[in-house]
Structure 1
Amino acid sequence: MNLYLRYFDKETLVPNVETALDFLYSIPEISMSPELEADIRDYVNSDVLYPKRYKVRQRVYFIIIKTLAASMMDFKQKKALRPILNEKQDLAATAVTRLTENVPGWYEGSLDFKRVVMIPATGKHEYRDTHFVVICKATSGQECYDRIVDYLRGRVDSRSQFPSVKGKNFRFRYLGMWK
């Protein structure tokens, strides 16, 4: 993993933390302290992939970015970002595949949605967070979601809001084959 450092128009791509520190020591405006050096070493050795910015003075920073780019040209053309994006796409594809995988049986589905209810004292309506859990026969996680939403649409106010099947407010678990 290489490191990209930039301070205004001064930039470099270095292979290790020692070369990065040499670059930072060569810039007179940046006052390097043992604490700053230790923090940079901790950042480089951590699993954190997002860019890190360090304050030089008010509204003036230098940044460090971890990258897989082999050269400055690759970094500028963002060629090294594609493998990271592909890993995220693979994880998303796995979740969608699991959702649509055809496995007939019993499913436990839970759904958190916004239900419209009337307040009797005022006669006005409000949204309330509602948790709904059901065990149903289905052939996939997608069908489990569809059956839950179809059931609820006929029993709650039509203004109620249901989450996306791919969102964090719908979870399902395969319980086993039916007989």
Structure 2
Amino acid sequence: MNLYLRYFDQEAFATNVDQAIDFLKSIPEIGMDESLEADVRDYAASDVCYPKRYKVRPRVYFIVIKTTAASMRDFKDKKALRSTPSGEHRENVSPSVVRLNQQQPGWYEGALDFKRVVMIPATGKFEYRDTHFVANVKALSALDCYNRIVEYLRQRVDSRSQFPSAKGKNFAYRYLGMWK
């Protein structure tokens, strides 16, 4: 397992933990000490595959990423991604996204919970209010239903209002049947 290290615009690709520690020692701002060196060695030896972030000072970090890439170029080109047994990269698409895009022309009942900007008359200030909106829409798919509802609302509410993603829990739909 190789290591990719980055601190702002300084980056390195190390084939072993000693190279990674030498790179970190070459950056005086990091202040490499024995405990940090031991922690980097433990991370490199562990089975954890997630990137590790180390704090240098408030809001300043360097990262260490484990990779199976053979070189910096392969890492940047993302050639070390996990692949399926057949060797091809498989798209991870959730069933809900597939159902959203499924073409089924007809009437849909779409329900959307969004944050609407409204003015408080007493103070003249604005605030976000949770708003529930339900509409029957003639659409080609559930995603088309969502897009039509959001387009309709954007023309009628404050432009600062926030609309949820069609894939989230704040959008629900029900197919009502074919149009006539």
TM-score band, normalised by shorter chain: 0.5 to 0.7
For 2:158 and 2:50, the matched residues in 1 are separated by: 42
Per-residue deviation, 1:132? 1.0
Q: Which aligned pairs between 1:105-144 and structure 2 lie closer than 5 A?
A: 106-119=108-121, 121-122=122-123, 124=124, 126-134=126-134, 136=136, 138-144=139-145
Give the distance between the partners of 2:70 and 2:142, measured in 1 at CA.
Answer: 42
What's 2:86 paired with? none
> Contact 2:53–2:64 at 8 Å: present in 1 too?
yes
Looking at structure 1, the residues matched to 61 and 81 of structure 2 have their Cα atoms a distance apart, in angstroms, of: 28
Percent identity for Structure 1 against Structure 2 = 26
Cα distance 1:30–1:148, how it changes in 2: closer, same or farther (>3 A)? closer
Q: 2:102 is aligned with what amino acid?
A: E
After TM superposition, list the pairs within 5 Å mapping 1:37-116 onto structure 2.
Answer: 37-38=38-39, 40-42=41-43, 44-49=46-51, 52-53=53-54, 55=56, 63-75=63-75, 78-80=76-78, 83=81, 90=91, 98-103=99-104, 104=106, 106-116=108-118
Q: Which structure: greater helix fraction? A: 1
Can you list the C-alpha shifts for 1:140-173, whole angstroms capped at 9, x where unaligned?
A: 223322453466568xx64353527558585234
Residues 113 and 164 in structure 2, CA contact (< 8 A), matched pair in contact too: no
Structure 1 unaligned spans of 5+: none
Partner of 2:149: 148
Aligned-residue RMSD, C-alpha: 4.9
**May I ask how many residue pairs the two structures share in their alignment?**
160
Unaligned runs of 5+ residues in structure 2 are 83-88
Amino acid in the other structure paired with 1:80? K
Deviation of 1:10 after TM superposition, in Å, equals: 9.7
Describe the shift of the 1:100–1:53 C-alpha distance in structure 2 as closer, same or farther (beyond 3 A). Answer: same
**Are the counterparts in 1 of residues 101 and 142 from structure 2 also a CA contact under 8 Å?**
yes
Please tell me whether the aligned partners of residues 2 and 70 of structure 1 are also in contact (alpha carbons under 8 angstroms).
yes
- Report the TM-score when normalising by structure 1: 0.53
> 1:24 aligns to what SS in structure 2?
helix
Change (3 A) 1:129 1:47: farther
Conserved 8 A contact 1:100-1:142: yes
How far apart, in 2, do the equivalents of 1:166 and 1:150 lie? 13
